[in-house]
Amino acid sequence: MSNRTTPRGPWSGGGGPGGISLPPFTPAPPDIVVLLAVVFATFSLQFFAFTRWLPDLLHLGAALFPYGLVWQVFTYPFAGYGPPSIWILLELLILYWFSRDVFYRLGRRRFWRTLLTVTVIAGLAAVAVELVALAVTGGVPAAFGLMQGQRTLMAFAIAAFATMNRNATILLFFVLPIQARWFLWLEVLFAFIAFLGTHDLAGFVGICVVVGGTYSVLTAGGLGRVLRDWRLRAEKSRLERQLARERKKRNLRVLEGGGGRDDDEPRNGPWVH
């Protein structure tokens, strides 16, 4: 399969998830099918005593700190998470709806590069927040539940779709029509409501980083450009502060209409040409 699977997204022409009509017979990208299968398989494995060790190794968790299981920041999005509930099927369906369009729009290479970049940065941010919280409160490490597995994947897919299809209409809860661009803020709002019930600060920060990072990478043209823009802005701010300090130190001031002349320099009158 080529990097650019097709020039047309599966919801082109006004289609979308949540009850909005889709073009018929749109093929499912094999990558997305495999992704959903992996998430569902790892979700199922956690409920068997002889297999739950594998999801435990893949999820972000307390073992990351004392044992240095650094691979967890790469694997946590692909390990299904949650209680044994029918809700997992709805989550996977939502993930399929959005990720299929995003995959077609971005192509294979850019899709996986963006997904891995954003989720790894979100994982590192969540771990950093949790380390600070542990240093301040001395509490027990949180489970990062708000951002485990399919929850991070859904946040990424919805944020990517909302970024690239800002004016598309999506039926929220299959009833309320909302323009896609508002889903960026709705994701943060839903994560905050979940945070109020779980107090999972690291997970909440991770979801916010996923949403903001996805928007930044897709609108700025890639992580390299985002980092370069941040560096240039930081450099500009540093130079402006340095110039302000030099002006204050040397008591320099700008004279309107003076053309940069010193105050003691004689000026020509209006009659001199």
82-107 pLDDT, tens digit per residue, is: 888 898 999 999 999 899 989 998 98
Q: What is the mean pLDDT of residues 196-206?
A: 90
Residue 85 belongs to domain spanning? 30-221
Residue with tokens 């370069």: 228
- DSSP state, 76? G
How many whole angstroms separate alpha carbon 227 and alpha carbon 216?
10
- Is residue 134 situated within a structural domain? yes
Tell me: the pLDDT tens digits for 139-154? 666 678 889 989 999 9
CATH code of the domain in which 67 resides: 1.20.1540.10
Domain count, the chain: 1
Average confidence score pLDDT of the chain: 77
pLDDT at position 268: 54
Highest averaged pLDDT of the listed ranges 40-49, 222-231, 237-246, 251-260: 40-49
Q: How far apart are CA 105 and CA 270, in angstroms?
A: 65
How many angstroms separate the CA atoms of 149 and 119, rounded? 10
In a domain, 233, yes or no: no
Residue with tokens 């920060």: 205
pLDDT, greater one: 251 or 78: 78
How large a percentage of the chain has pLDDT more than 90? 34
The answer as to whether 137 is a domain residue is yes
Region at 251 (left for phi over 0; alpha for psi -120 to 50; beta for the rest): left
3-state secondary structure of 19: coil
Strand partners, 177: 171
Reported as a single tens digit per residue, the pLDDT across 211-239 is 999 999 998 865 555 555 655 666 676 67
Greatest mean pLDDT among 126-130, 136-140, 250-254, 266-270 lies in 126-130
Residues 6+ apart with CB under 8 A from 244: none
Q: Considering the domain boundaries, does residue 66 fall inside one?
A: yes
pTM score of the predicted model: 0.70
The Cα 107–Cα 56 span in angstroms is 31
Tell me if 108 is assigned to some domain: yes
- The CA distance from 129 to 81, in Å, is 21
Domain contains 254: no
162: closest CA among 191, 192, 186, 195? 186
Name the residue with higher pLDDT: 216 or 12: 216
The total of other beta-carbon atoms located within 10 Å of residue 120's CB is 15
Six-digit token string for 91: 């989550």
